[in-house]
């Protein structure tokens, strides 16, 4: 395998966390690894709601932190919630200075929306539902104007090199169809910012390439994974034949849209005092129940928004139009879909994980902010705060000035095609067995199937990473014999009376759980 050395910091990923970290490291030279053209393929660009921050004088970081802890069902780390919410305002001001066109009031203030489980309107938005895309646009423009940042497009990371217990390099290959022979890149430091795991599910709102590969890569190298079982399902993915499913942002319900079924019943009134603005896990389960009962849940924006839905929420309107749905005239069919992974590589306040020499931020990390159920619009905020924290810590660890020679990669033919049918089978298994509602039989079936798929197709490194993350999610879900936040066990429907605990698991432990199930099933 060809080995390339560079003085640049290697950043795996090209979403909001990766871009922001690269900018905060400037003028220290970095090289970003992007499987797609910059701006495409990242979940960040698809975020509709906005960034949560206490920008109103009547609001406070303390209230924001309290809402974060309440939504997280007991497993949020208070120190992390305080750290993130206190930093939120400065990051909004920083993004504004970079050129993010946040919606503003006539007197120059920020337009603030209220979303589920927030006690105040504190979601800073752009063009209604364009926050992620607009923030990405501003960051990409800034990155392209920063000489210290090199972006390698069409390249994907597949594994980490660990030397004497420390991460020393990352193995890369072409992300183009047909693959390539791998190349090992050894940088001054290594930061993983490559997204979450929603695409491991057949019904998801995430871009097609975001399938837990970065978490799996770190796990296979030995990193501790936290809270893997906590996968958030967005209640209102638009229920159409499109993969990934388009999203009907929660801000619609914040503006007064209601949920009804095909009998015209507003079913959330009986489910929670906050009705449509209940925490996401509760709304998602009620949506799931309606779907399972054949009652087609729908989001009705007609009375609350009327014709203004097209102007205020253009992404939703465009998605509806693609499928012949007119939200001005009829409710939007919706379904629960895998949306955000609260779990990931366990990190501290500096973004360090259990593997020396490796930092992680963005959705691939589990910082302790989200607990068992992420508060709406805290995802982009967490990415910003910890991208900066990682950048500051990495810079402090590196001495002197680095050379700025660019990294030149030449991929030779080779490698294997991604096992498309196996990936489809894995995604279907996760939706059917490790979805909104779980039980022991389903989780054991999932682990058995994941093992079968990995045994037959695990030679492909990317697929092996997917299987590692899927194994951790299912094994942690099996081990958590209670219901908490986004993790609901029909065979253990109540929270553990002994109190809330975060989960921590290595891939070796998850494999042992999986192997025991396979042995029992084949005896």
- CA–CA gap between residue 72 and residue 79 (Å, rounded): 14
Contacts of 410 (CB under 8 A, 6+ apart): none
Q: What is the pLDDT of residues 231-279, one digit of tens each?
A: 999 999 999 999 999 999 888 998 999 999 999 999 999 999 999 988 8
pLDDT at 501 over 90: yes
Q: What is the pLDDT of residues 380-391, one digit of tens each?
A: 999 999 999 999
pLDDT of residue 48: 66
In this structure, the strands spanning 2-5 and 112-113 are unpaired
pLDDT at 376 over 90: no
Q: How would DSSP label each residue in 339-390?
A: EEES-EEE--TTSB-SSTTEEE-GGGEE-SSSTTSPPTT-HHHHHHHHHHHH
Crossing angle of the two packed helices 131-144 and 379-397, in degrees rounded to 10: 20
Apex CA 123: angle with CA 280 and CA 301, to 5°? 60
Residues of the chain with CATH 1.20.58.100: 420-522
For residues 148 and 27, the answer to whether their CB atoms sit within 8 Å is yes
pLDDT at 442 over 90: yes
pLDDT of residue 518: 96
- CA–CA gap between residue 427 and residue 209 (Å, rounded): 12
Record the tokens describing residue 472, joined without a space: 């951790």
Paired strand residues for 368 = none
CATH topology of domain 420-522: Methane Monooxygenase Hydroxylase; Chain G, domain 1 (1.20.58)
CB atoms within 10 A of CB 323: 14
Q: How would DSSP label each residue in 453-489?
A: HHHHHTTSHHHHHHHHHHHHHHHHHHH--S-BTTB-B
Q: What is the pLDDT of residues 53-101, one digit of tens each?
A: 999 999 999 999 999 999 999 999 999 999 999 999 999 999 999 999 9
In this structure, the strands spanning 225-226 and 504-505 are antiparallel
Contacts of 29 (CB under 8 A, 6+ apart): 7, 8, 9, 148, 149, 150, 402, 403, 404
> What is the arrangement of strands in the sheet containing 2-5, beginning at the earlier edge strand?
2-5, 183-186, 166-174, 155-163
pLDDT at 488 over 90: yes
- CA–CA gap between residue 119 and residue 108 (Å, rounded): 23
Residues of the chain with CATH 3.90.700.10: 235-337
Crossing angle of the two packed helices 507-522 and 461-479, in degrees rounded to 10: 80
**What is the CATH number assigned to the segment(s) 235-337?**
3.90.700.10
Average pLDDT, the chain: 94
For residues 440 and 478, the answer to whether their CB atoms sit within 8 Å is yes
Q: Point out the residues that are catalytic.
A: 280
pLDDT of residue 522: 86
Averaged pLDDT, 438-446: 98
Q: What is the pLDDT of residues 125-152, one digit of tens each?
A: 887 677 888 999 999 999 999 999 999 9
pLDDT of residue 45: 65
Alpha carbon 410 to chain centroid, angstroms: 31
pLDDT of residue 451: 98
pLDDT of residue 453: 97
Share of the chain above pLDDT 90, in %: 83
- CA–CA gap between residue 100 and residue 122 (Å, rounded): 17
Q: How would DSSP label each residue in 151-176?
A: EEETEEEEEEEEETTEEEEEEEEE-S
Record the tokens describing residue 246, joined without a space: 């388009």
pLDDT at 44 over 90: no
pLDDT at 359 over 90: yes
pLDDT at 395 over 80: yes
pLDDT at 403 over 80: no
Closest alpha carbon to 358 in 468, 221, 197: 221
Record the tokens describing residue 229, joined without a space: 């079982």
pLDDT of residue 475: 98
Polymer length of the chain: 523
- CA–CA gap between residue 140 and residue 39 (Å, rounded): 7
Contacts of 503 (CB under 8 A, 6+ apart): 226, 227, 228, 229, 343, 476, 479, 480
């Amino acid at each position: 395998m060809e080995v390339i050395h560079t003085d640049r910091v290697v950043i795996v990923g090209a979403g909001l966390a990766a871009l922001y970290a690269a900018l905060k490291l400037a003028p220290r030279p970095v090289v970003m690894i992007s499987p797609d053209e910059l701006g495409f393929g990242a979940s960040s660009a698809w975020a509709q709601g906005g960034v949560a921050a206490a920008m109103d004088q009547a609001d406070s970081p303390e209230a924001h932190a309290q809402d974060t802890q309440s939504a997280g069902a007991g497993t949020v780390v208070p120190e992390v919630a305080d750290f993130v919410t206190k930093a939120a305002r400065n990051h909004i001001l920083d993004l504004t200075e970079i050129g993010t066109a946040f919606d503003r009031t006539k007197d120059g203030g920020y337009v603030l929306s209220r979303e589920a489980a927030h006690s105040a309107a504190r979601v800073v938005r752009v063009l209604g539902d364009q926050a992620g895309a607009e923030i990405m646009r501003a960051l990409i423009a800034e990155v392209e104007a920063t000489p210290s940042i090199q972006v390698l497009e069409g390249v994907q990371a597949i594994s980490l090199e660990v030397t004497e217990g420390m991460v020393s390099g990352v193995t890369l290959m072409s992300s183009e169809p047909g693959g390539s022979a791998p190349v090992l890149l050894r940088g001054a430091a290594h930061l993983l910012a490559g997204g979450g795991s929603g695409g491991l599910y057949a019904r998801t709102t995430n871009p097609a390439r975001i399938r837990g590969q970065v978490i799996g890569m770190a796990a296979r190298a030995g990193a501790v994974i936290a809270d893997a079982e906590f996968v958030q399902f967005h209640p209102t993915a638009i229920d159409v034949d499109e993969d990934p499913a388009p999203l009907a942002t929660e801000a619609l319900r914040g503006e007064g849209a209601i949920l009804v079924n095909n009998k015209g019943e507003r079913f959330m009134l009986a489910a929670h005092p906050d009705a449509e603005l209940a925490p996401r896990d509760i709304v998602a389960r009620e949506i799931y129940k309606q779907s399972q009962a054949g009652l087609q849940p729908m989001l009705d924006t007609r009375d609350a928004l009327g014709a203004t839905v097209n102007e205020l929420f253009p992404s939703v309107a465009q998605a509806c139009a693609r499928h012949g749905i007119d939200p001005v005239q009829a409710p939007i069919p919706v379904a629960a879909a895998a949306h955000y992974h609260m779990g990931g590589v366990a990190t501290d306040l500096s973004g360090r994980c259990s593997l020396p020499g490796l930092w992680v931020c963005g959705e691939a990390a589990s910082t302790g902010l989200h607990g068992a159920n992420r508060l709406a619009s805290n995802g982009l905020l967490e990415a910003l705060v910890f991208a900066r924290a990682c950048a500051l810590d990495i810079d402090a660890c590196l001495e002197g000035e680095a050379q700025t020679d660019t990294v030149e990669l030449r991929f030779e033919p080779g490698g294997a095609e991604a096992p498309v049918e196996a990936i489809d089978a894995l995604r279907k298994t996760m939706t059917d067995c490790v979805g909104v509602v779980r039980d022991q039989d389903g989780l054991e079936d999932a682990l058995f199937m994941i093992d079968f798929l990995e045994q037959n197709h695990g030679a492909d490194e990317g697929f092996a990473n997917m299987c590692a993350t899927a194994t951790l999610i299912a094994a942690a879900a099996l081990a958590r014999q209670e219901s908490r936040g986004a993790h609901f066990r029909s065979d253990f429907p109540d929270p553990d009376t002994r109190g809330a605990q975060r989960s921590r698991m290595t891939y070796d432990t998850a494999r042992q759980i999986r192997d025991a199930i396979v042995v029992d099933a084949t005896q």
